Amino acid sequence: MKRNNIGRLEEVLNQIEDEKVREIVRGVFKVEISYRSTERVNFPWQRIRDVIEGVARTSQLQLEDKPHANEATKN
């Protein structure tokens, strides 16, 4: 995220404890900032979904990795 873009919004992000949620909010802020204009047409929903998708995949991978880790411990 560009330094000048985020400005005061960093204060909001700093208050979010859950890392996943923080990443989602950060990504959504980016989308909102680039969309900001007087004409509110064609909102880029796909970009919001991409943000969720990215974080969800990381979470799923982490979930999938846990059993492997357990198996490794067993072995």
Partner 1 sequence: MKLQRIEIENFASYYAKSDPIYLDTDPKKPLIIFIGGTGFGKTSLFDAINWALYGEEYESDLLKVKERSIVDYLNETALSEAANDDVRLNMSVTLYFEHDGDNGLKEYYIKQSLLLQPKKDKEGSISAQIVDRNHNLKEITPQGDHETIPYTRTFLDEILPNNVKSYFLFDGDRIHNLAKPGNSQEVQDAIYRVVDLEIVRNACEHLQETAIWYGKRAAKSAKGELGEVENAYSQELKFQNDLKTKIGDIKKERQAIKDQIELIDAKLKDLPETKTLQERKNQLNKELNQNRENQKVLKNQMREEASKAFLGLANVPLKELRDLLKEKRAKGEIPKHIRETFFQDLFDQEECICGTEFVAKEGNPVYDTLMIRLASEKNRSAEEDQLIDLYHVLNNAESIISNSREELTIKEDGVIELEKEEKSLVYQIQEIDAELGELPIEDVTILMSDRKKRKDRDDELIAELSTKQEERINSEKKLKELDDERKALGKKQEEAGAQHLRSELAKQAGDVLNTLYDDFAEKSRKTVEDLTIEEFKQFVISSSGYQVALSKDYSLEVLDSNGNRALQRLSMGQSQCLSLAFITAISRVSRKNPPLVIDMPFSRLDHSVHAAVSQRLPNLADQTILFLIPEVEWNKTTQPNLSKYAKHVYEMYFDETMRQTTITEVK
Q: Which residues bind partner 1 (CB under 8 A)?
A: 2-5, 7-9, 11-12, 15-16, 18, 20-21, 24-25, 28-29, 31-34, 36-39, 43, 45, 48-49, 52-53, 55-56, 59-60
Q: Which is nearer to partner 1, 61 or 73 (CB)?
A: 61
Residue with tokens 């909001």: 12
Which is nearer to partner 1, 42 or 73 (by Cβ)?
A: 42
Q: Which value, in Å, is the radius of gyration of the alpha carbons in the chain?
A: 17
DSSP code of 39?
-
Q: Are the C-beta atoms of 7 and 20 separated by less than 8 Å?
A: no
